[in-house]
């Protein structure tokens, strides 16, 4: 049973609230949806930056075992604009987004990672692009690292099996001579545009989407647990005829870390599993079977290398502690 306010999400749950005990019925223009899992180091800053620009923030917590919700309740006690959903288990990012979307009241849904901080006026700039063209279904901003440099993923092309092959084997270095053949799907290495541009995909860390475009695309695919569901949504929207825009003057500071750093092998497993699902879902009938098998083999071979690397680091760290 799904309720709103600060609640436990379970079959016998009834809504209860941490602030005034009432839910505002006033419709909001933008509903920010944040899926949280152990993001206590950044969640308060994220929500604070969002509440400075919108009237509704929904935090869907995936059974965190840190103090993130305690910090949120203490920092925003009595603020009716903030709603917190407590899941009894980690349902994954896509499922959390769907729960938040179901509870939203806004005409626009803004999916935002908890390790993001919106710079002033970024929501208004995103909205300006979204409202400027009725064919634009979703927009994303400029994701920057804490040092101000552009982060990969904020603007990108869809990583088709061929493009992924090119990137994996470093063939993108030939893009200057044969750009169409050896195209690198990460666009952050290209000069930053001076105005909003249409792109094939944006990052799930920052997605502002029309409610009717989300309804047209359907729910987030919960077959993904973590990673690649943003690519899936981008592909689905474009197939439905919606444009996706990248807005370079809407800046969002994205401090990657938290769960990804604490559980690297867990995250990498779901990332590579998501890649396989994405390729099979959208490209199975466009590429010959042997090529898809090679792609799958390459994905899992890469996972093996990454997992081995992180496992070695954990062993060395453990040995270092033991020696200490």
Low-confidence ranges of the chain (pLDDT < 70): 1-28, 167-171, 174-175, 182-186, 257-262, 300, 303, 321-324
Q: What is the pLDDT of residue 298?
A: 73
Coarse DSSP helix, strand, coil percentages of the chain, rounded to the nearest 5 percent = 40, 20, 40
Looking at the structure, do residues 132 and 249 belong to the same domain, yes or no? Answer: yes
With 0.85 as the threshold, say if the pTM is over it.
no
Looking at the structure, do residues 138 and 230 belong to the same domain, yes or no? Answer: yes
Q: What is the pLDDT of residue 10?
A: 39
DSSP H helices, 149-223, are 161-168, 211-217
Q: What is the pLDDT of residue 316?
A: 75
Looking at the structure, do residues 124 and 15 belong to the same domain, yes or no? Answer: no
Looking at the structure, do residues 181 and 92 belong to the same domain, yes or no? Answer: no
Q: Long-range contacts of range 5-11, CB-CB < 8 Å, 24 or more positions apart?
A: 5/83, 5/84, 6/73, 6/83, 6/84, 6/86, 7/84, 7/85, 7/86, 8/86, 8/88, 9/85, 9/86, 9/87, 9/88, 9/99, 10/88
Tokens of 185: 């799907």
Nearest one of 306, 205, 324 to 255, comparing CA atoms: 205
Looking at the structure, do residues 128 and 246 belong to the same domain, yes or no? Answer: yes
Structural domains counted in the chain = 3
Final residue before a domain boundary, out of 96, 118, 140: 118
Identify the domain containing residue 27 by its residue range. 1-118
Distances (CA, A) of 50 to 32, 79, 112: 7, 13, 9
Within the chain, what is the greatest distance between any pair of CA atoms? 63
CB 260 within 8 A of CB 267: yes
Final residue before a domain boundary, out of 118, 144, 175: 118
Looking at the structure, do residues 252 and 136 belong to the same domain, yes or no? Answer: yes
Pairing relation of β-strands 7-9 and 108-112? Answer: unpaired
Q: What are the pLDDT digits (tens) for 210-220?
A: 999 999 999 99
- Cα–chain center distance at 253: 14
Final residue before a domain boundary, out of 118, 145, 171: 118
Q: What is the pLDDT of residue 323?
A: 42
Q: What is the pLDDT of residue 263?
A: 72
Looking at the structure, do residues 8 and 80 belong to the same domain, yes or no? Answer: yes
Contacts of 35 (CB under 8 A, 6+ apart): 60, 62, 93, 96, 97, 100, 111, 113, 114
Task: Give helix 229-239 / helix 264-283 axis angle, nearest 10°.
Answer: 20
Looking at the structure, do residues 142 and 94 belong to the same domain, yes or no? Answer: no
Looking at the structure, do residues 146 and 270 belong to the same domain, yes or no? Answer: no
Q: Tell me, what CATH number does 69's domain have?
A: 3.90.550.10
Looking at the structure, do residues 125 and 248 belong to the same domain, yes or no? Answer: yes
CA torsion angle 190 191 193 198 (round to 10): -10
Looking at the structure, do residues 222 and 268 belong to the same domain, yes or no? Answer: no
Looking at the structure, do residues 272 and 248 belong to the same domain, yes or no? Answer: no
DSSP H helices, the chain, are 43-51, 68-75, 93-103, 122-131, 161-168, 211-217, 229-239, 259-262, 264-283, 289-323
- Cα–chain center distance at 86: 19
């Amino acid at each position: 049973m799904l309720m709103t306010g600060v609640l436990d999400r379970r079959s016998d749950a009834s809504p209860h609230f941490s602030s005034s005990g009432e839910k505002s019925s006033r419709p909001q223009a933008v509903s920010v949806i944040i899926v949280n899992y152990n993001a206590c180091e950044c969640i308060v800053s994220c929500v604070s930056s969002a509440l400075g620009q919108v009237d509704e923030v929904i935090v869907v917590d995936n059974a965190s075992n840190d103090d993130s919700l305690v910090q949120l309740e203490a920092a925003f006690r009595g603020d009716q604009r903030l709603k917190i959903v407590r899941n009894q288990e980690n349902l994954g990012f896509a499922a959390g987004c769907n729960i938040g979307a179901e509870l939203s009241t806004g005409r626009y849904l803004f999916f935002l990672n908890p390790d993001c901080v919106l710079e002033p006026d970024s929501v208004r700039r995103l909205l300006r692009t979204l409202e400027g063209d009725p064919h634009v279904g979703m927009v994303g901003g400029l994701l920057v690292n804490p040092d101000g440099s552009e982060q990969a993923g904020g603007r990108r092309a869809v990583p088709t099996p061929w493009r992924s092959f090119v990137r994996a084997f470093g063939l993108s270095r030939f893009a200057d001579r044969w750009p169409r053949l050896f195209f690198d799907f990460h666009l952050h290495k290209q000069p930053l545009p001076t105005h909003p541009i249409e792109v094939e995909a944006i990052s799930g860390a920052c997605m502002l989407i029309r409610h009717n475009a989300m309804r047209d695309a359907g729910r987030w695919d919960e077959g993904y647990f973590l990673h690649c569901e943003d690519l899936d949504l981008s592909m689905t929207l474009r197939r439905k005829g919606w444009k996706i825009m990248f807005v370079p003057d809407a800046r969002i500071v994205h401090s990657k870390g938290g769960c990804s750093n604490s559980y690297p092998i867990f995250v990498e497993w779901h990332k590579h599993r998501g890649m396989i699902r994405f390729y099979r879902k959208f490209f199975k009938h466009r590429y010959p079977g042997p090529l898809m098998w090679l792609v799958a083999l390459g994905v899992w071979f890469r996972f093996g290398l990454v997992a081995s690397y992180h496992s070695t680091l954990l062993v060395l760290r453990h040995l270092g502690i033991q020696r200490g």
